[in-house]
Amino acid sequence: MDICVSVIVVTRNADLFHAGASVISDLRDTLFDEVTLDSDWSVLDHAMPEAGPHYQTARTRAIRALAGHQNRLSLNVVHAQSLSGALDRLQACDRRDNVHHIGMAYIDYSDPYHAGRSTAEIENDLNWFYDRLRARNLQAFQTPTSTAVFQSAEMPHYHIHPMNFIRCLLPGDMDVLRAHLLSLWMDFYELSLANRKIRPGSQKRPTSLMASTLAAFLAQQAGSNWVLQYYTGSVVSSLITAFEDQAAAQNVPVLRGPNEHSLACGAMANWQLYEKPSVTIVTSGMIDEFRGTFANLYETRARGFLICAEQKPALWYAFQSTINPEFDSRDVLHARGVPFVYISEPQDLARGLEQAMALYAADRGPVVILATQAVMNMAAPPTPRVPAPCIPVPAQDQTQSHAPPAALDDLVDLVNGDAERLLLQPGALPPRCRQLVTELAEASGIALVDSILHPGMVASHHNGRPNPNYLGTLGVYGFSDPVYRYLYRGGRIAPRETQALIFMEDKISQAATPFGESKLRQQFQIAQIVRRSDHLAPFADLAIRHDPEAALAYLLARLDISDALLARRRAAIALAREGEKDLSSSLPVLPMTPNYFFGQLGALLRHMIEAEGYDFTGLYDVGRCGISAIRNLPRTRAGFSGWYGRALMGDAYTATVALAQTAATDLLVFVGDGARALVPDILPSLLENALANGARRDLSVTIFVLANSGLSAINSYQERILFNRTSRQMRVLNLGTQDSQQDMCGYQVVTRAINTFDPDALRHDLRKRGRINLFTVNLAHNNEGDGMSLAHVSGWQQDQLAGRRNRPLRAHTEERI
């Protein structure tokens, strides 16, 4: 091995320097032909103590191992007190033609000068150093064993595995230090120098034809408006690296989460809010780890690819395989109507990818690709084949004529007719449709509501001003008092001929209203506009299959409403908006009730929106407090709800990990203590994504954990509807929150317990940029208000309007919780 290797020592610590020099001296006769030292410090007059037991053992084994090697090295030790100083010394050294390489680097960050230096900052320093070496044509090893960084025993606020160096705590014992330095050198020598597969310079990263093809396809379909997500595993690790390189070239965010389920939540949220397709990669067998959100993804028609490693069917009960003699996951996917392809052999990759891209174009949701390791790791050619332009092919149930159906004229008649109260609830609509809905409501006097599935699809505020047609939320839970006042007269639903419900791009699922199917059929006129035939409700009077945007434009062009009718409709909306909130909303008892906390927070947010132009995206988890947030807080734009689809506790909370990187505004996240206890802590994932993608200094993320020590929605059902006492099954044990404030990964992370509502302090916290606020709000449990069932509406604390007539609770037995 006729080469010269430079060992870099960057330290201000003489003990560390001399300990390393003694190790080299002990190996000189065994391994080195020549040793030179480039340093301002001398080693001639420094006597080292006798070898202790640790170093003696390490030295004996190292010399014994090296005795069998024929390789001899010329070693150049370069010492400096900084990385820039080492760079200058290396530039000046004799390169001996092309056989001089920069090998092991010992970097000392234990000095007080480097106090508080984070792993990420050290990584940046090292990246700068090795980039400068390459710029000066100095060949350096960059292997898992080539760079060791010593730090002090003082532990930082957070710990993360370094990607580019070995993290070591500087030993106080000289015997341990010398043994450690020798061990680091021997690992480097054995795994880098003696391994002929390792070469100095940039190491080649894996490429994948699957990664390059799908990335090129998504660039064609969505530009850079897509995201890459993954949860690693040995089988998919090379594919992930190849996809990361593709994402970096397209400036696409690369996101991680605490588990596979969180990736599905992020994919769903990014599609619902920003129409961002996603590539989600998981390892073998993990297709089962998506929980019910897997089904939610397909309900949203969230475009993208879900790549899951699989084994060959020929293997006998392969490890983590979901295709084996006893079970075949493809049957499950087929039963759920999930589009998928299975690619087992590399020669089938092109065909499989073409099929997957065609399924993507069919707009049936994310396409599952089950692929073997050989298929995923099939190397990409130097110039990847760009797929042919993909023309979207409508799914069979969405094929329709561009001509408006005749029933649209019936809807025009309904809107232009005599009914004084029309209420419109949209499902998932793109921004252009939302604007048309607002224009239609303003021009025709239609009241607008959102739902617990799509909060903010019509927002309470637009451009900082209240939306006069917005009445609040209509849903199985959380319906607003103004909605009740609008639809009811004297405690009863108003006569059918006087009002109508209009659902747009909404299949009128059970979650959309507090009314059962029989009541919807018998007591309401119902119009529905959807694109999919399987979403047409059997109880709708006008079930119209048409593009919502085209239908809205058709309606707007044909409005013919008298001024008198328009005035009566607007008056009905204004009257419904009047009225007092429940008594609990105004009582500052301790612990605070959810009603009081969200009433106060709602008032604060309204002031910030109207007076300061505050804008935010809300994330609302499943539970009583998530419902309270949906019902009582204003909104400036569409938010993300965990109630969507299967109503899985923890979905909105875990989706925060993805949206913290992709959101256009501040995030306000509301999660109950029950949901929070069900899923992992997301803070480490938030910070890891910040390390990889950069902290968002232009926004803040505020997570409210609403802690009332119980699964309170079930509690209310037992206590308010069934008149039972609570039981252990609803109990949640919460540990106390320690207040703290510290800088981590580019964010200022603030942890605080909130026991009383302080609007000035909270406004200050929400307005700070580059913050992650983790607020535990200690609350009481109560059963009043918040629209948890229609039975609540007639409670003594409510004041709907003078002249109302209370009805016995048994009249509401059809309503659900």
Where on the phi/psi map is residue 726: left (φ > 0), alpha (ψ -120 to 50), or beta? Answer: beta
Torsion, Cα 732 738 742 747, to 10 degrees, reads 20
User: Which of 189-203, 315-329, 679-693 has the least mean pLDDT?
Assistant: 189-203
Domain ranges in the chain with CATH number 3.40.50.1220:
407-577
- Phi, psi values for residue 21, rounded to 5°: -60, -35
User: Which of 95-99, 586-590, 716-720 has the least mean pLDDT?
Assistant: 95-99
Mean pLDDT score, 132-143: 87
Mean pLDDT score, 579-608: 90
Q: What pLDDT digit, counting tens, does each position of 4-53 carry?
A: 889 999 999 999 999 999 999 999 888 888 899 999 888 766 678 888 99
Mean pLDDT score, 132-147: 88
Residue 634 has pLDDT above 80, yes or no: yes
CA 109 – CA 663 distance, rounded (Å): 36
Max mean pLDDT range (130-144, 163-177, 329-343, 435-449): 435-449
Q: What pLDDT digit, counting tens, does each position of 496-509 carry?
A: 999 999 999 999 99
Q: Which amino acid is at 572?
A: A
Question: Can you read off the two tokens belonging to residue 165?
Answer: 């160096």
CA 447 – CA 461 distance, rounded (Å): 14
Hey, CA dihedral for 594, 596, 600, 605, is it positive or negative? positive
Q: Do 608 and 760 form a contact (C-beta atoms < 8 A)?
A: no
Q: What is the pLDDT of residue 805?
A: 42
Q: What is the pLDDT of residue 323?
A: 87
Nearest to 4 by CA among 73, 106, 105: 73
Q: Which residues pair with 668 in a beta bridge?
A: 618, 702
Residue 541 has pLDDT above 70, yes or no: yes
Kindly give, in sequence order, each residue whose CB lies less than 8 Å from that of residue 271, ignoring residues fewer than 6 positions away. 277, 278, 300, 301, 302, 303, 304
The b/e string for 91-117 (b: 16+ C-beta within 10 A; e otherwise) is eebeeeeeebbbbbbbbbbbbeebeeb
Level-2 CATH architecture, domain 583-784: 3-Layer(aba) Sandwich (3.40)
Mean pLDDT score, 174-189: 94
CA 90 – CA 644 distance, rounded (Å): 60
Domain ranges in the chain with CATH number 3.40.50.970:
209-394, 583-784
Residue 284 has pLDDT above 50, yes or no: yes
Q: What is the pLDDT of residue 791?
A: 66
Question: Can you read off the two tokens belonging to residue 665?
Answer: 């505004």
Q: Rounded to whole angstroms, what are the CA distances from 757 to 165, 230, 606, 688?
A: 46, 39, 16, 32
**Of 687 and 158, the one with more pLDDT:** 687
Q: Do you find a cis peptide bond into 277, omega within 30 degrees of 0?
A: no
CA 293 – CA 759 distance, rounded (Å): 36
Q: What pLDDT digit, counting tens, does each position of 73-116 carry?
A: 889 999 999 999 999 998 877 555 556 688 899 999 998 888 87
Q: By 3-state DSSP, what share of the chain in percent is helix, strand and coil, each rounded to 5?
A: 40, 20, 40
CATH code matching the domain that covers 3-193, chosen among 1.10.10, 3.30.360, 3.40.50, 1.10.260: 3.40.50
Pairing status of strand 465-466 against strand 461-462: antiparallel
Confidence of residue 727 (pLDDT cuts 50, 70, 90): confident
Q: What is the pLDDT of residue 176?
A: 95
SS3 string, 516-542, reads: CHHHHHHHCEEEEEECCHHHCCCCCCE
Nearest to 59 by CA among 181, 141, 151, 164: 181
Q: What is the pLDDT of residue 597?
A: 97
CA 185 – CA 37 distance, rounded (Å): 17
Confidence of residue 526 (pLDDT cuts 50, 70, 90): very high
Residue 804 has pLDDT above 50, yes or no: no
Q: What is the pLDDT of residue 639?
A: 97
Residue 395 has pLDDT above 50, yes or no: no
Nearest to 463 by CA among 636, 707, 252, 604: 636
Q: How many CB atoms sit inside 10 A of residue 405's CB?
A: 17
Max mean pLDDT range (121-130, 131-140, 477-486, 596-605): 596-605
Q: What is the pLDDT of residue 813?
A: 36
Nearest to 504 by CA among 569, 567, 451: 451
Question: Can you read off the two tokens belonging to residue 814?
Answer: 């059809």
User: How many percent of the chain have pLDDT more than 90?
Assistant: 65
Mean pLDDT score, 734-758: 94
- List helix spans (H) across 510-615: 517-523, 548-557, 563-577, 594-612
Q: What is the CATH number of domain 209-394?
A: 3.40.50.970
Kindly give, in sequence order, each residue whose CB lies less than 8 Å from that of residue 332, ignoring residues fewer than 6 positions away. none
Q: What is the pLDDT of residue 231?
A: 94
Q: Do 488 and 494 form a contact (C-beta atoms < 8 A)?
A: yes
Q: How many CB atoms sit inside 10 A of residue 79's CB?
A: 22
Q: Which amino acid is at 335?
A: A
**Of 676 and 404, the one with more pLDDT:** 676
- List helix spans (H) across 189-302: 209-222, 237-249, 260-274, 293-300
The b/e string for 555-583 (b: 16+ C-beta within 10 A; e otherwise) is beeeeeeeeebeeebbebbeebbebebbb
- Chain-centroid distance, C-alpha 387: 29
- Chain-centroid distance, C-alpha 446: 36
Residue 655 belongs to what H/E stretch? helix 651-662
Mean pLDDT score, 442-459: 97
CA 222 – CA 350 distance, rounded (Å): 21
Confidence of residue 318 (pLDDT cuts 50, 70, 90): confident
Pairing status of strand 278-282 against strand 470-473: unpaired
Q: Rounded to whole angstroms, what are the CA distances from 403 to 400, 452, 540, 550?
A: 9, 33, 21, 10
Nearest to 655 by CA among 274, 262, 149, 289: 262
pTM of structure: 0.88
Residue 601 has pLDDT above 90, yes or no: yes
Mean pLDDT score, 364-381: 93
Confidence of residue 136 (pLDDT cuts 50, 70, 90): confident
CA 59 – CA 328 distance, rounded (Å): 55
Nearest to 387 by CA among 414, 353, 433, 434: 353
Fold of 407-577: Rossmann fold (3.40.50)
Mean pLDDT of the chain: 89
CA 448 – CA 457 distance, rounded (Å): 10
Q: Do 600 and 759 form a contact (C-beta atoms < 8 A)?
A: yes
Nearest to 414 by CA among 501, 313, 327: 501
Q: Rounded to whole angstroms, what are the CA distances from 391 to 192, 356, 361, 585, 796?
A: 50, 13, 7, 54, 59
Kindly give, in sequence order, each residue whose CB lies less than 8 Å from that of residue 419, ignoring residues fewer than 6 positions away. 497, 498, 499, 500, 525
CA 213 – CA 374 distance, rounded (Å): 16
Q: What is the pLDDT of residue 488?
A: 93
Residue 739 has pLDDT above 90, yes or no: yes
Q: Which amino acid is at 297?
A: L
Confidence of residue 292 (pLDDT cuts 50, 70, 90): confident
